[in-house]
Structure 1
């Protein structure tokens, strides 16, 4: 195993892809993990859209675990500028204009207490 240092920039080959990241071979005996958050700037929904097994990629070592010797890699740190990805606006269950959805606890609490008391009195009968 070669001596690697944090901050070092290397070329690796993608050897495996999982939902949490991609594995890159750095030499014959050493491989590291590019976590999904380090694949690229912004959100990566599907790693397979960005990387394929066998791709040659430039990576930077961002961490080396002292005990397990696991190497964490990043492609994002090597980007010249932040790439902004446009995504659809998140939709919420409630609609403020229609006044539907969840109500405040202080509005609901008296009704809940009454329901609970009724249920308890019905169980006792």
Structure 2
């Protein structure tokens, strides 16, 4: 549910920064993200716009995440599941519980969509598999 009243951009920025701090330190995801992202400040700003558009309906994000993810080599379900696990850990400790819950619910759908799209672009002849939501 898009709602400017759900949270502030400051809360979204804090969540995004906290999450990607964990991602960068993660032994599984950190090397991938740190290899592909050169400008972390710019990336975090873009992701804050992305989540502001999703959670608050701000319309600030302009972009297409699917092609950027599809272009990455050697992604697998475990990586998407790890991303979701870290996202769940981050959103679970947000002071704004409603924002955290809405963000995680949305992140699950986004991860599934990106994983399906990735599989379909790499192996269009096979049926895509889903992710485990632990």
Please indicate the TM-score interval, normalised by the length of the shorter structure: under 0.3
Instruction: Flag the structure with more relative contact order, 1 or 2, with Cα contacts below 8 A and sequence separation at least 6.
Output: 2
Relative to the length of structure 2, the TM-score reads: 0.25
| Larger-gyration structure (1/2) | 1
Relative to the length of structure 1, the TM-score reads: 0.26
More helix by share: 2
More strand by share: 1
